[in-house]
Structure 1
């Protein structure tokens, strides 16, 4: 685990091939299964992510955000069986889609450790946020390290379910 003022990274080796983990991570409908923060409720978009530049919408819940809300997630990293990442942006109060991400990113990096094990690194990075009001309002890191570690535990359980 590493942490500084702009990101938190946790790592775990999971007994599954990288391709199986990548298949799970690129399917938004499965994201609630491995969300250690408990904020992800369901996916509006259930199509598999297959390239950078795509967008998927998730239904979320967090009391600090006023309860239920939706995020539009912009895919920023895609390297098949190696890396997947996205930057979220909350939907407007009027239901309008955001024009682009606000600067924080979720990034999963997969490194094979033999045929049937993969080191998974999960990074929650808010280094691209330049809006000081947003930084103060959200209070980064909004998701603590323990929740990231739980996400990797849940990912390990979800990949064994198939």
Structure 2
């Protein structure tokens, strides 16, 4: 099977969005995305640590979860809150700094799912600081790595 093609989606100002087609049913992909204990399996950025994830086995509207992270060589912990949820199709959570991570899944044919991931920093407390730190570009690379690995996982 050919390598996955990750495409850029224009989703508006201060949003970084990428999309890929995954050869798996949406329910199977959603089970991975909606389980915070499995987020280390998803992470293409290398910032999510695989130790001590706290939270429910499956996310839901308003749920909170805590994940160990490491960035710039510094370990830390964040607690995020689910801000949008549609079972089997959508999960979005808000980072403590106000930006959001959103996953949208659309089963385009039996056993094939279009997966869209968005880093939305339009809601961040300090979007200009994120830009100065280069986070949009870094997160674009992380999303591309995440989606490429996700597609390969189900190839």
Q: Classify the secondary structure of the residue corresponding to 1:8.
A: strand
CA drift of 1:6 comes to 0.5
Does the Cα contact within 8 Å between 1:44 and 1:56 map onto a contact in 2?
A: yes
Q: Distance in 1 between matches of 2:109 and 2:61?
A: 27
Aligned twin of 2:5: none
Does the Cα contact within 8 Å between 1:33 and 1:154 map onto a contact in 2?
A: no
Any gaps of 5 or more consecutive residues in structure 2? 1-7
Q: Classify the secondary structure of the residue corresponding to 1:71.
A: strand
Cα 1:131/1:50, change in 2 over 3 Å: closer
Aligned residues: 146
Q: Distance in 1 between matches of 2:128 and 2:141?
A: 26
The RMSD of aligned alpha carbons is 2.2
Q: Classify the secondary structure of the residue corresponding to 1:146.
A: helix
Q: Classify the secondary structure of the residue corresponding to 1:85.
A: strand
1:34-67 deviation line (CA, Å, top 9, x unaligned): 111000002421532342111000000011xx61
Q: How does 1:12-23 map to 2 (within 5 A)?
A: 12-23=20-31
Any gaps of 5 or more consecutive residues in structure 1? 90-101
Cα 1:82/1:68, change in 2 over 3 Å: same
Q: Distance in 1 between matches of 2:128 and 2:14?
A: 15
Aligned twin of 1:24: 32
Q: 2:19 aligns with which of 5, 11, 17?
A: 11
**Alignment TM-score, normalising by the size of structure 2:** 0.82
